[in-house]
Structure 1
Amino acid sequence: MAKKKAAFYTMTIPALLLFFLFHTFPTLQGIFYSFTNWDGYSDSYDFVGFKNFASLFTDGNVLNAYMFTFKYAIVVTIFINVLSLLIALGLNSRIKFRNFFRGIYFLPNVLGVLIVGYIFNYIFANAVPMIGEKLGSEMLATNILGSEKWAWIGIVIVAVWQGIAFNTILYLAGLQTIPRDIYEAADIDGAGTWSRFWSMTFPMLASFFTINMVLAMKNSLMVFDQIVALTGGGPGRATQSIAMLIYQGGFQGGEFAYQSANAVIYFIVIVIISVVQLNFLQKRELDA
């Protein structure tokens, strides 16, 4: 018994120390600096209390970043879950080479986000305009990433294309837990395709739907890599997410303490949204 305890502590204590060193300690440092006016490179700083937090609510750039991030997260979360569920339903049917197609659909999740972003950057900036010119389409001939109005759509396309891979696998796992017997009984009763899905399939996928919705929303709210690879937050500040603003202002703009306060608020917002989502969707699971 003593040897088991010793082995347990030998394995867990180093992991806990590393987690504290590289995660918890920097988090506590960020919270500490959020109450100061440190610019990130000076040797001295002063405590300013809640001044940074108060300024965030009147900062136009911060409010613009939050509005863009929320709009982006809602659209991406909806599209990822709708498309991944449709793909999972298709792959779960008795089609030929379905295991091959499952591998193909999961491939985007294996690729690095920055790599995918740079590839799509080239596609949007060169390939699509070239095709648009040949087709005589003015809309396609324009680089969508250079438009303040439509650049965010390009980011959504990339995020959805890569995000549906993981969600599809989870929905497939959920579909495989549903007994085939109930579908046979539904066929005998003459239930239609939509009736079977809405009354039987979807309620039994409720827990998987909850997981996918929460994960998709959380990942979308933390969008950063796609924006770095595609637009850099531009044109202007049209696609500047909260994470991008914190990075640019904190590490490049001499606003380390100010953006640390922004990061604290950002963390609280993500926690609140995730908790509200979980409570709402889990109540729906019980109702289903």
Structure 2
Amino acid sequence: MNPKLERNELNVKTDINRISKRKTNLKKALTYLAFVGPALVFFLVIQIIPFLMGVYYSFTSWNGVSSVVEWVGLENYKKIFTSDPQFFSSFLFTTKFMLAAVAVSNLIGFGFALLLNAALKTRNILRTVFFIPNVIGGLLLGFIWQFIFIKGFSSIGNVTGLAFFKLPWLGDEVTAFWGIVIVFAWQISGYMMVIYIAALQGVDNSLLEAARIDGASNFTLLTKIIIPLILPAFTICFFLTISMAFKIFDLNLSLTGGGPFNSTQSVAINIYQEAFQNNRYGLGTAKSILFFLVVAVFTTVQVMLTKKREVEA
């Protein structure tokens, strides 16, 4: 056979394979684009573009209404650090609230998970009951608990005479703080419970049975076997509760509105008041950028530490 014809046939086959690969790759790209494209567009429009605009406005003195946007550079950030003590007070409150809320909500959620992972006849009903508060909106939940703290506890206190129910739950700095923690934990612990239950159901029962045969107590089973095996669930739950607690807004707004005397004002409420009530949008966005950086640092450090514990376990 003619060598030239052989080379031509080989070149034709190569070209056909290239065209086929290109069509396959194009088909895959179009398939990925069809599935990912709409979500990516919404993510860009709702998240990325507003964030970049916020970064830009943080360097301006825009009031949120005027068509004139004046560039002021780092002036807003200087104001925050030199002449805005209330912002740092709200940051301190939010940090303390985050620590308390994360501890309480995860403790309750994990306790519920251990309880409902057992062979109880009513566990499915109880799981639903414990999860329901998570689907109630924060504003509605706040107003419901405001009524409970003010009217319900007062009535119970008058009937029983117990000092616990006679406390000024939303009228004092200390009790208002713990009131918000209680409501937050009541709302979010059911969600954490679901994550912990999913992790507990993935634990191999044969390991637990072998440990029991070797004489391990329930406490040893929990601390030496169960918790190390479900550390990824703790990583997820800590991450979620830290970010949720830091960003608390609607629950705080409806329960106390930041009072009494701004003692329970979260960072989110401080930013909201600065941008939309005081009409200092540039300063408000500067605060939100700083807030974003702090939350990012906290959550990153938490994930790194818990991931390290997972590897060690």
Q: Which category describes the TM-score, using the shorter chain as reference length? A: over 0.9
Q: Is residue 73 of structure 2 the alignment partner of residue 49 of structure 1?
A: yes
User: Matches of 1:106 and 1:14 in 2, distance apart?
Assistant: 31
Q: Residues 144-175 of structure 1: CA distance to partner in whole angstroms, max 9, x if unpaired?
A: 11223321111111100011011100100010
Question: Which residue, 161, 169, 173 being the options, matches 1:144?
Answer: 169
Match in the other structure for 2:33 = 9
Aligned to 2:59: 35
Segment drifting more, 245-254 vs 143-152: 143-152
Letter in 2 for 1:56: I
Instruction: Indicate the percent of aligned positions where both proteins have the same amino acid.
Output: 35
Deviation at 1:118, TM superposition (A): 1.3
Deviation per CA, 1:186-218, whole angstroms, max 9, x where unpaired? 111111111111110110011111111111111
**Hey, what does 1:60 align to over in structure 2?**
85
What secondary structure is seen at the aligned counterpart in 1 of 2:165? coil
Structure 2 length-normalised TM = 0.88
Structure-1-length-normalised TM-score: 0.95
Task: Extract unaligned runs of 5+ from structure 1.
Answer: none
For 2:21, the equivalent position in structure 1 comes to none
Which secondary structure does the structure 1 equivalent of 2:64 belong to? coil
Deviation string, structure 1 residues 22-65 (Cα, Å, up to 9, x no partner)? 22221111111111111222232322211211221232111101
Q: Is the 2:62–2:281 contact (alpha carbons within 8 Å) kept by the matching residues of 1?
A: yes
How is 1:1-288 mapped onto 2 (pairs within 5 angstroms)?
1=24, 2-58=26-82, 59-288=84-313
Aligned partners of 2:91 and 2:267 also within 8 Å: yes
Q: Structure 2: 5+ residue runs without aligned partners? A: 1-23
Instruction: Name the SS of the counterpart of 1:240 in structure 2.
Output: coil
Do the aligned partners of 2:167 and 2:175 also contact (CA within 8 Å) in 1?
Answer: no
Which range moved further: 93-102 or 270-279?
A: 93-102
Which 4+ stretches in 1 moved above 6 angstroms?
none
The number of residues matched between the two structures is: 288
Task: State which drifts further: 184-193 or 134-143.
Answer: 134-143
Q: Deviations over 1:81-123 (max 9, x none)?
A: 1111111111111222212211211111222222211111111
Distance in 2 between the 1:85 and 1:17 partners?
37
Cα distance in 1 for residues equivalent to 2:311 and 2:123 = 32
Please identify, of 272-281 and 2-11, the stretch whose mean Cα deviation from structure 2 is larger. 2-11
Alpha-carbon distance between aligned partners in 2 of 1:156 and 1:171, rounded to the nearest angstrom: 21
| Paired letter, 1:36 | T
CA deviation vs aligned residue, 1:199-245 (integer Å, no higher than 9, x gap): 10110011111111111111100000101111111112011100111
